[in-house]
Amino acid sequence: MCKIKDIDGNREYKDNVFRLLFGNESKSAELYNAVKGTNYPPDTLKMNTIQNPLFVGLRNDISFTVDDKFVILIEHQSSVNPNMGLRCLLYIARIYEQLMDKDGMYRTKPINIENPEFYVMYNGREEYPEKSTVKLSDLFKVKNGESNNLELTVTVYNINKGHNKNIMKRSRTLDEYAVFIEKVRYFIDIDGLELTEALNKAIKECIKENILFEFLNKHGGDVVSILAREFNLDDAKRVWAEETREDTQEKIARNLLKNGLTEKFVVENTGLSKEIVEKLAEKIKQK
């Protein structure tokens, strides 16, 4: 049995597991070729990820140039951010600013820039389609059917186990990553293990089954630390979202009750339980 190395608990990680796994020419080429159906050799990629506090939400991206294209790959473990189009716009603008000759914009000759491509690998718990798009224009205040003068499209792939099987077939690493994440969730949801215990058990089992063998042998401790933090953050976000939804429902219920609607009507139209609505109605009567 391979022993998972311990790591410094105070260490700050700029990488998430996805970038730690795919953030090199070989693995990035494997993943990009799987998504695009191409066959670029690793030595044709140039890794070029920027680190800037402005892009804290995108610091875990994988960015590279290949064949005059600038590719940005991002993993999301929770729900896909609807503002991703805007964030990617700011991100790619910053990259162009860093790469180009700043005096070039004022010259008469056109500047040739790489064509950007944006991909999100969705790995959250919520149901999500195999493939979807998030567009910058979805955020525009005016949506009157006119053509957009500015557009940016992010393609989102569901990389949970059992989804996008053609991509998984072309990338063994991505497929094994999906298996690993599925094992972690199984040990939490079915076996009832605590998060850290589930992570350690999944790592040991994957190593035994030759799943991400070299990666987990080398980075097993890092994986535990990083995913423990990320999974806890995702759980917190879900709780916050649920609490916000419940608060909104209760406000609506109180208004309906104050306006004379029956408790039965409020239960049927807010999704709140009968017990909660009865308590709200009682509080209103007491005032």
Q: What three-state secondary structure class fits 63?
A: strand
Question: Which pTM was predicted?
Answer: 0.74
Distance in angstroms (rounded) separating the CA atoms of residues 282 and 287: 9
Note the helical H segments in 100-193. Answer: 165-170, 172-189
Distance in angstroms (rounded) separating the CA atoms of residues 192 and 205: 17
Distance in angstroms (rounded) separating the CA atoms of residues 255 and 285: 13
- CB-CB contact of 155 with 129 (8 Å): no
Looking at residue 238, its pLDDT comes to 54
Looking at residue 245, its pLDDT comes to 60
Looking at residue 4, its pLDDT comes to 32
Looking at residue 173, its pLDDT comes to 97
- As a whole number of Å, the CA-based R_g of the chain is 23
Looking at residue 7, its pLDDT comes to 30
Per-residue HEC secondary structure of 174-203 comes to: HHHHHHHHHHHHHHHHCCCCCHHHHHHHHH
What does pLDDT average to in each consecutive run of 10 residues of the chain (287 residues)? 32 65 95 96 85 50 89 83 88 81 78 91 91 93 75 95 96 97 93 92 97 95 85 58 65 77 79 83 81
Q: Half-sphere exposure (CA, 13 Å, Cβ side) for 166? A: 8
Looking at residue 51, its pLDDT comes to 54
Looking at residue 216, its pLDDT comes to 96
Looking at residue 31, its pLDDT comes to 97
Distance in angstroms (rounded) separating the CA atoms of residues 22 and 47: 11
Distance in angstroms (rounded) separating the CA atoms of residues 201 and 73: 29
Q: What is the dihedral of CA 276, 279, 284, 287, to 10 degrees?
A: -140
